[in-house]
Amino acid sequence: MAAFLLRRLGFMILTLFLLSLIIFFAGQILPGDPGRAVLGPFAANSAVQALDHSLGVDRPLVTRYLSWLGGVVHGDFGKSYAYQSAVAPFVRAALINSVKLAALAFIIVVPLGIIGGVIAALYEGRAADRAISVTGVSLSSVPEFVSGIVLIVIFGVTLKVLPVTASAGPGAGVFNQFRHLILPAIPLVLVLFGYIARMARAGTIEALNSDYARTAVLKGLPEATVIRRHVLRNSLLPTITVIATQTGYLIGGLVVVEVLFNYQGLGNLIYKAAQGKDFAMLEAGVLIIGVVYVVATLIADVLLTLLNPRLRIGGTE
Amino acid sequence: MSGSVPQPAEPGAASPVDPVAPIDRTGGYLGPTGAAAVAAASRATPARWWLLLRKATFWVGAIIVLFWVVCAVFGHLFAPYNPLEQQLLVNNQAPSGAHWFGTDPLGRDVLSRVITGARDILIITPLATIIGTVLGTALGLAMGYIGGWFDTVVSRVVEAILALPFVIIAFLFVVAVGPSVGAITIIIGLVFTPLIARTVRTAVLVERHQDYVSASRLLGEGAARVMFREILPNVMPAIVVEFTVRLAYAVFALVTLSFLGFGIRPPTPDWGADIAANYSGLLAGYWWQTLFPALAIASLVVGVALLADSIEQVLSA
C-alpha cells in the first residue's frame, strides 16, 4: 500500500514537472515582446529593451525556466508585466472565486448525475433509461456559453428573476453571492450531468450483472437491499474517478462561463493574460489549473484504492 | 495516474477494463460500453450497421446534421440576404416578416448569417477530427503494442497534456500561431490526438493478448505489420465511435474558440463569433442577435452527439 502510494506520488510529481515544462515553453512561443506589450507600439526600442532587461526576459531560455521553477516551488510566481506587481495575490483571489463557482456546480450536479445514472441503469433499455441517456448525451455536448445565452435570455432578460453578472460586488453577503452564481453554475451542471450519469449508469449495470448481485438475489434478499448493499457500493466507485477527472474539464468550462458572466475567476484571469501576453500571470494560472487537476486525480486514485481491496493488493499492472 | 487503475471516462473513451481479463464471447456479459466492449463486438457481422436505421436517435441526429450540411453547401444560394451586406438604416430590428431572425447592430440579416455560418464549422471540424484520429490511432497503437518504457513515457506526457483543459491548450496555440482556418484545424486535431490515443491504447491492450496476435508474431510478422494489418482492423469500431464522439467535441471546441475571439474572425459569418460580437446587445434586449446563433450551435452539436451515441450503441450492443 505504501509502495503504491509512493509510486502514485512519484508519477504525480513527474506529471507536474512535464506540465511545468510544457507551460513554460508554450508561454515562450507566444508571439510578442513583453516590454513592447507593456509600453505600447510607440515606445522607443531602447526603452523596450531596457524594460525587457529589467524583467529578465532577455536571458537564455533555460536560465529563465530554472529561475521561474525555483520561484514557483517557493510560492513565488513572478511579476505580472501588465500590473507591475506580484502575480500570486491575483491568482489566489481568482482561484477562490473559481472554487466557489465550481463548488456550487459540483454540489448540484454530483447527486443529480448519480441519481440519474442509477435510475437509468435500473430501467436499462426502457424509456426512462433512453430519456436520461439521450438527455445527458445531448446536454453534455452543448457548449457552456450556448446554454448560458439561453439561460440569460430566459431568466435574466425575459423573466428578470436572476442577475446576469456573476460577481455580487465587494462585501456582498453569502446569499447575494450565491444568487449571482446560480446562472453561471447551471451551464457547468448541464455539461457535467451527462458524464457523471453515464458513468454511474455503466458502473451500476456492471454491478447488477455481477455474480455477487445474482447470488444476493438468489439467496432471497429483497431487491432494495441488493441494490443498496451490493450494487451501489460497487457501482459508485468508478463514478468517483470520473468526478475527479472532470475537474480538468470543469476548469476549461470555467474559462467560458467566467468570460460570459464577467466573473473574476481563474478562467477569466488566464483568458485576459493570454490576450495581454502577460506571461507570468498566464503561466501561473495554467500551472495552478494543472496542479488542481493532478491533485484531484491523485485523491480519486487513492480513494478508489482505499475503497477497493482488489486494487489495493494487485495495484500494479 | 498510471494505467493500473480504472481510467477515466470521457464519453466514448474506454470504460475501466482489465486489459488481461478474458472476453466472454459466448454472447454473455460484456461489461460497460467502452473500447474493450466495442473491440470485442467488432468480431460480429457487418449487419450491425443496419441496426442504425431502427434507431430514432440516429434519424433525428442524421436529419439535423444533413440540414446543416445543406446550409453549408448551398446556404449562400437560398439565404434571403447577403450575410455580409450592412443596412445601417435597419439595424437592431426585432424579428419580422422581412427579417425572420431580425438584424444585427450593423443591419445584417441574422437568418442569413445563421444559415451561411454553418460552412466554416462543417469544413474545419471534420478535417480536424480526421487529423486527430489518424495521429491518435498511430500513437495509441504504438503505445498499446510496444508497451514498456515507451508506453510509460508517452503516457506521462499525454497525462500532463490532459491535465490542461483543451480549450486552454487550444487558445494558447492559436494565440501563438495566429487564428487562420488552417491553423485552427491543425490545432484542434493535435489537441484531440492524446485523447484518441488513450482510447486506442486501451483497445489495443485488450487485443494484444488474443491468439491471433501471438500467431502472427510467431509467423515472423514485423511490429508495424502486426499493428496496422492485424490489430488495427479489430480495434476499428472503437476508432469509429471515438471519431464520431470527437466530431461533436470538435464543434464544441471550435465554437468556443470563436466565442473567445480565438477562432473564426469577423466579418465571416460564424455562430460563436457572432454571439461574442452581439453579446452586449443581449443585455440591452436585442436577444435575437445571440439566441438564434446559440440555437444553431445547440442543434448541430446535439445532432452530431446523437449520431455518435447511436453508432456507439449499435457497435457495442
What domains lie within chain B, and their CATH numbers?
57-81+100-316 (1.10.3720.10)
Q: Phi then psi for A75, rounded to 5 degrees? A: 80, 10
Q: In this complex, which of B8, B57, B252 lies closest to A143 when CB atoms are compared?
A: B252
Per-residue confidence (pLDDT) for residue B130, from 0 to 100: 95
ipTM score here? 0.77
Chain B contact for A137 (CB, 8 A cutoff):
yes
Q: Phi then psi for B221, rounded to 5 degrees? A: -75, 145
Contact criterion met (CB < 8 Å) for B287 and A29:
no
Contact yes or no for A216/A185 (Cβ under 8 A): no
Instruction: Tell me which residue of B268, B292, B299 sits closest to B119, measured CA to CA.
Output: B268
Q: Chain A neighbours among B 162-221 (CB < 8 Å)? A: 162-168, 171-173, 175-176, 178
Q: How confident is the model at residue B26 (pLDDT cuts 50, 70, 90)?
A: very low
pTM score, whole prediction: 0.80
Q: In this complex, which of B6, B248, B297 lies closest to A238 when CB atoms are compared?
A: B6
Contact criterion met (CB < 8 Å) for B156 and A14:
yes
Average pLDDT over residues B134-161: 86
Contact yes or no for B223/B208 (Cβ under 8 A): no
Contact criterion met (CB < 8 Å) for A203 and B32:
yes
Contact criterion met (CB < 8 Å) for B163 and A294:
yes
A206 contacts in B (CB within 8 Å)?
Answer: 31-32
pLDDT digits (tens, 9 = 90+) for A152-197: 888 887 787 777 776 666 667 778 888 888 889 999 999 889 888 8
Angle of helix A2-29 relative to helix B148-162, nearest 10 degrees? 60
Q: In this complex, which of A15, A194, A316 lies closest to B159 when CB atoms are compared?
A: A15
Chain A contact for B296 (CB, 8 A cutoff):
no
The set of residues, in sequence order, having a beta carbon less than 8 Å from that of B276 and lying 6+ positions away, is: B258, B259, B260, B261
Work out the minimum CA distance from A108 to partner chain B, whole angstroms: 20
Contact criterion met (CB < 8 Å) for B290 and A256:
no
Work out the minimum CA distance from A171 to partner chain B, whole angstroms: 25
**Which triple of cell numbers denotes residue A23?**
507551460
B304 contacts in A (CB within 8 Å)?
Answer: 141
Average pLDDT, chain A: 80
Tell me: pLDDT of B39 over 70.
Answer: no
Average pLDDT over residues A217-225: 85
Q: Tell me which chain B residue has its CA closest to the CA of residue A248.
A: B165
Exposure pattern of B279-312 as b/e (b: 16+ CB <10 Å)?
bebbeeebbbbbbbbbbbbbebbbbbbbbbbbbb
Distance CA A226, CA A215 (A): 10
Tell me: pLDDT of B19 over 70.
Answer: no
Measured in whole angstroms, the distance separating CA A208 from the mean position of its chain's CA atoms is 31
Q: Chain A neighbours among B 137-166 (CB < 8 Å)? A: 156-157, 159-166
**Preceding omega of B105 cis (within 30 degrees of 0):** no
Chain A contact for B252 (CB, 8 A cutoff):
yes
Distance CA B100, CA B129 (A): 34
pLDDT digits (tens, 9 = 90+) for A243-289: 776 666 777 788 889 988 888 888 888 888 887 777 788 888 888 88
B217 in helix, strand or coil?
Answer: helix
Contact criterion met (CB < 8 Å) for B156 and A138:
no
| % of chain A beyond a pLDDT of 90 | 5
Query: In the block, which residue shows the cell 439467496?
Result: A219
Q: Give the CA-trace dihedral at B185, B145, B152, A28, to 10 degrees.
A: -20
